[in-house]
């Protein structure tokens, strides 16, 4: 029998309108509220990770923009020779 991953119960308070919307979605998707909320949190965390990575990449590109421009300038005449 495979070992189950440890899980924790969490109590979350929802405003009434959000709770009702969640209940409709759960019924429409035929999943439990726990599965729905767990999937939503998982997707949100993945989106945060992607946004963080995009921000770090953008910062890296900005930090190295001058170097990239110098390298490009050094090779622009070589590119023209091959035409």
pLDDT at 64: 86
What's the mean pLDDT when you consider all of the chain? Answer: 89
Domains contained in the chain, number? 1
Distance CA 79, CA 71 (A): 12
Tokens of 33: 């509220």
- Is 33 a member of any domain? yes
**Residues 22, 31 contacting (CB under 8 angstroms):** no
- Is 49 a member of any domain? yes
pLDDT at 83: 57
pLDDT at 82: 61
Residues lower than pLDDT 50 in the chain: none
- Is 9 a member of any domain? no
- Predicted TM-score (pTM) of the model is 0.67
Distance CA 40, CA 48 (A): 12
Domain that holds residue 39: 16-81
- Is 70 a member of any domain? yes
């Amino acid at each position: 029998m495979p070992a189950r991953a440890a899980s924790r119960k969490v109590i979350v308070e929802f405003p009434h309108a959000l709770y009702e919307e969640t209940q409709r979605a759960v019924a429409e998707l035929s999943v439990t509220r726990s599965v729905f909320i767990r999937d939503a949190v998982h997707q949100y965390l993945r989106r945060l990770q992607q946004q963080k990575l995009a921000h770090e990449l953008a910062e890296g590109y900005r930090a190295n923009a001058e170097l990239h421009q110098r390298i490009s300038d050094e090779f622009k005449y070589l590119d023209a020779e091959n035409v």
